A and B are shown apart, each in its own frame.
Chain A
Amino acid sequence: MDRRLRDPREVIRDEMVMRDKVLAALENGPLTVPEIAESLGFPVHEVMYWVMAARKYGLIAEVKDPDDDYFQYELVKSE
């Protein structure tokens, strides 16, 4: 497998339009990054950028104990 990846700058730029979709995917409960990617229909490595940006800016957080090899992420409840 050696497909050309999208330029990271382009993927990161898409965060602004994908953020709401990531958050919507987590409305029914915590998911791992591959699970979020599957629900959105986007490549997992791209979804990784969007999930980690949402985490960085406090919109989602990891569930403390990882499920096997993957952490699950959940919505941060706004005060």
Chain B
Amino acid sequence: MDYDVLVVGGGTAGMESALTLGDMGYSVALVEKEPTIGGKMILLSKVFPTLDCASCIATPKMASTFHHPQVTTLTYTTIGGIAKTPRGTFEAKLERKATYVDFDKCTGCQKCELACTVAIPDQFNFGMVARRAAYIPFAQAVPKKAVLERYGTSPCTQACPAGIKAHGYVSLIRSGLHDEAMKLILEAVPFVGTLGRTCYAPCERACTRNELEGSVPIRTLKRYAADRYYQLHPQPEYGPPEDRHNERVAVVGAGPAGLTAAYHLARLGYPVTVFEAQEKPGGMLRLIPPFRLPTEVLERDIANVTALGVEIRTGQAVDDPSRLARQGFDAVFVATGTWKDSIPAIDGVDLEGVMGAVQFLTQVAAGNPPNVRGKTVLVAGGGRYGIALDCARTASRLGATRVVVQFRRSREELSSVEWAIEDALEEGVTIQFLRAPAKLVGVDGQLVRVESAEIRVGGRDVTGRVLPGSVGPGTESMEVDRMILAVGQDVGSAGGTSGLHTTPSHTIVIDPRTMETAIPGVFAGGDVVSGPSSVVEAIGLGSRAARCIDRFLRGQPRIRDDVDADLIAVEKSRTLTRQDHYTTLPRASRDLRPAAQRRTDFDEVELGVEEAAARQSAARCIDCGGCCECHQCISACPADAIDFGMRDQEQILEVGSVVVSTGFDLFDPVGKVQMGYGRFPNVITAMQMDRLLSPTRPYNTVLRPSDGKIPDNIAYILCTGSRDFQSDNQLCSRVCCMYTIKQAQLVMGALPLADVTIYFIDVRAFGKGFEEFYEQSKAMGVNFVKGKVAKVEQGDDGNLILQYEDISGEGKVVRTEHDLVILSVGLLPNREALSLFSGGALAPDAHHYVKETDEDLSPGQTSIEGVYVAGSASAAMDIPDTILHSGAAAALSAAYVERVKR
């Protein structure tokens, strides 16, 4: 056996049971789902009828439990199931939630919580104030360690091919931490300004806010972070890292994949040399027209790489990359891209006036554009990456009279470039969907006409992938002077792949797990491996290549998929159910220069956003993952205790006996609509009032939640959700009368001028000293009114009007006004206890508490021999009764363990 006894639940009953058993010499595992033990008692102000400080009683018991040599406390842990073995012992499956904090290092300094940028309702203050996603439950928590609340990876973050923490930087911008946002993005990529303008934003497609009114404008926020930072820092703030490795790395190709790999390798301390065939670095990014990506933004992005000491040798083509390995480079990364236009096999493609998109854009970028002034230009587009639209919009700016784009696909299939389609249409470009050139006709070798065919929608296969369309019967003829073919790109036979194993289409063959080619030490990635891809996908492969090369050079295991793994993305439905309702806000539209103005120049079309708009847009984020991975906690932690590599773990324990001490639930008065809870801020529960009266209260004193006013006329409504058939809880909760009287006395102490009225059916003061406690409160001036409150309404000033039947008077319906109403809510069974066991379920009693099979002679004995119930998991009871009951359960459990051991 791993432990003699498993105690489930770390509240008063669980702690008492564990301590009793531990003192008897039994080994105990105490499991608690929250990050701290203490249950509800530690959250109370004082206890009745002695008015002793609850914290003063509970805290020593928490500490004794946690430090008891026989008790192992497992917080932040739930039970996946418990089954009885043939030997009479029990096998329990524990699910230990990752805390993402190394408890051995954490000092409980709370700096992570102060730095965290995600605000979440504080469950330990019953939602009256915020806590953070990184948090220590409260000052007296045991253990006093921080945990990071993570529900999974936010969908936006998981959707990013480049591994950018999208949720993180959105959260940082929301918090006004703009430099930090930029630095977080720079952790993943050097091309922040570029991606802020050109990315097709898979993050936005994944955004849960799409289920409401539209996604958070995540790409625009990235651009905001870059623009602001680049304005403040025309050059990078950093230089080469101080710690350097000796191994040298060569990168062939200074496009997005190559430079990203160089960036990460240089950050790791490797000397990196980049060989680029073109005259300037940037690769295909240089072909993106400046009205979408201004040259100075690209240059500044590239400076992020060169500032690290990366040497870029332009004008140096490398035909045989393996030669670099022989020249002393310890690793080589080939990322030469796809620079050859794919020319479709249709009649007339060799006519004058026909050219490929790469050829067209290369000539434009070199300052030597083809003459299209006064011409009709037809662009045949593949569609996915928007190159056809870049060509069309460029031709329009170069003076073409008419520009037409033909796509083989429908507009719905081109959703990744929808924004570019809209922009092009605004600028006067004609776009024909489901149409493709079939024949190019020339006169004297010069293109004069294009005949195009209708394309039928291809439908989708079982995986949802769009199938190629077929040619339909419809044809059309158009007079055309220039034609640009933007239907695809190839590596080409001169792609710098000599000596490497390639496919028939000249892409390099690699081991997808390591990105290594057949030649040891030579790696490849980006478009030269995958074929044409988006900028962000190429960047992502560059990042991955850097990790692979680092593992290779450090002699580490080559295949480590876990290193790159995120948590599972949080399901949108799960996120959305966290709130009862949402306020929808209009999605900020993209701010563009007027179409008439922009079609005549190459200045940037899309305008950025100002700080206020950026923060407001970021505030629409609904924090799907809980923790946003902004990494502020990592920066703030002086003990280096934050560990995002932690994962949930399962643990199997064999124990001799089980004590169920899962406590009770509180009645949620939201369902009693007539009481106004959840509708009127000044209607709160007694548990919330206990928090307001406690030393660790959410406010500075007892205040109205509606406006911070010090209340002076407070009402309590007893029996809310107990002794109530309508609420399916006909039981008396046994503690409400006394905790209400306790609070009334405490309020009169805290607010001497306040009037306190308690509306009751009858007061049950049955325990030792309870009647005296009741009489004492009356003597202090608490007003007791026998009357069942039927309805609570709210006035314009936030005051509340109670309507009740005056039972002790004339039986009339009476209306009274108060400025704060406390609902003395009842206790309910915690039904989770009943699902703990498999193969012989724990039997409930008639009220869904854990059934005690012999309440009179063996209190605590459940329907399963060896399983005992302690405290309010069996029935509503106060703290002294809970302590007694837990002792009984512990004794029974010890006796059973002795029998099992024999």
Are B120 and A12 neighbours in the complex by a CB distance under 8 Å? yes
If the complex has contacts A13-B623, A17-B619, A33-B708, are A52 and B699 also in contact, measured as CB distance less than 8 A? Answer: yes
Instruction: Provide the B683-727 mask, 1 if CB < 8 A to any CB of A, else 0.
Output: 000000000000000111101011111101000000000000000
Which residue from B114, B582, B708 sits with its C-beta under 8 Å from A34?
B708
If the complex has contacts A2-B679, A16-B117, are A34 and B700 also in contact, measured as CB distance less than 8 A? Answer: no
| Interchain residue pairs with CB less than 8 A apart (17) | A1-B795, A1-B796, A2-B680, A5-B681, A7-B582, A9-B121, A9-B578, A12-B120, A13-B119, A13-B120, A17-B619, A56-B129, A56-B698, A57-B114, A62-B700, A69-B709, A71-B710
If the complex has contacts A8-B121, A12-B120, are A45 and B705 also in contact, measured as CB distance less than 8 A? Answer: yes
Are B619 and A33 neighbours in the complex by a CB distance under 8 Å? no
Distance between A53 CB and nearest chain B CB, rounded to angstroms:
4
Q: Is B127 interfacial (CB 8 A cutoff)?
A: yes
CA of A70 to CA of B798 in the docked complex: distance in angstroms? 14
If the complex has contacts A7-B582, A16-B619, are A53 and B119 also in contact, measured as CB distance less than 8 A? Answer: yes
Distance between B620 CB and nearest chain A CB, rounded to angstroms:
10
Q: Is B513 interfacial (CB 8 A cutoff)?
A: no
CA of A40 to CA of B712 in the docked complex: distance in angstroms? 27
Residues of B within 8 A of A (CB): 114, 117-121, 127-130, 171, 174-176, 578-583, 615-616, 618-619, 622-623, 678-681, 698-701, 703, 705-710, 712, 793-796, 798
Known: A14-B619, A17-B615, A71-B700. 10 other contacts (CB 8 A): A2-B679, A4-B581, A7-B582, A15-B130, A17-B174, A17-B175, A34-B708, A44-B708, A70-B708, A70-B709
Are A53 and B129 neighbours in the complex by a CB distance under 8 Å? yes
Contacts of A37 in B (CB 8 A): 707
Residues of A within 8 A of B (CB): 1-2, 4-10, 12-17, 19-20, 32-34, 37, 44-45, 48-49, 51-53, 55-58, 62, 66, 69-71
Which residue from A12, A14, A51 sits with its C-beta under 8 Å from B121?
A12
Are A20 and B681 neighbours in the complex by a CB distance under 8 Å? no
Are A5 and B679 neighbours in the complex by a CB distance under 8 Å? yes
Are A49 and B130 neighbours in the complex by a CB distance under 8 Å? yes
User: Binding site of B, secondary structure by majority: helix, strand, loop or mixed?
Assistant: loop
Are A7 and B579 neighbours in the complex by a CB distance under 8 Å? yes
CA of A14 to CA of B127 in the docked complex: distance in angstroms? 14
Chain A residue nearest to B580 in the complex (CB): A7
CA of A51 to CA of B578 in the docked complex: distance in angstroms? 23
CA of A1 to CA of B832 in the docked complex: distance in angstroms? 38
Contacts of A32 in B (CB 8 A): 708
Are B705 and A48 neighbours in the complex by a CB distance under 8 Å? yes
Are A53 and B615 neighbours in the complex by a CB distance under 8 Å? no
CA of A16 to CA of B173 in the docked complex: distance in angstroms? 10
Contacts of B581 in A (CB 8 A): 4, 7
Contacts of B798 in A (CB 8 A): 45
Are B700 and A8 neighbours in the complex by a CB distance under 8 Å? no
CA of A32 to CA of B701 in the docked complex: distance in angstroms? 14
Are A10 and B579 neighbours in the complex by a CB distance under 8 Å? yes
If the complex has contacts A8-B121, A16-B175, are A52 and B128 also in contact, measured as CB distance less than 8 A? Answer: yes
Distance between A46 CB and nearest chain B CB, rounded to angstroms:
9
Contacts of B579 in A (CB 8 A): 7, 9-10
Chain A residue nearest to B712 in the complex (CB): A69
Are B794 and A16 neighbours in the complex by a CB distance under 8 Å? no
Chain A residue nearest to B707 in the complex (CB): A44
Distance between A70 CB and nearest chain B CB, rounded to angstroms:
6
CA of A13 to CA of B622 in the docked complex: distance in angstroms? 8
If the complex has contacts A7-B580, A52-B128, are A34 and B707 also in contact, measured as CB distance less than 8 A? Answer: yes
CA of A14 to CA of B174 in the docked complex: distance in angstroms? 9
Are B708 and A71 neighbours in the complex by a CB distance under 8 Å? yes
Which residue from A5, A17, A33, A49 sits with its C-beta under 8 Å from B129?
A49
Contacts of A51 in B (CB 8 A): 708
Are A16 and B707 neighbours in the complex by a CB distance under 8 Å? no
Determine which residue in B618, B622, B708 has the highest number of CB atoms from chain A within 10 A of its CB, and name it.
B708
CA of A16 to CA of B177 in the docked complex: distance in angstroms? 10
Are A5 and B678 neighbours in the complex by a CB distance under 8 Å? yes
Distance between B366 CB and nearest chain A CB, rounded to angstroms:
46
Contacts of B128 in A (CB 8 A): 52
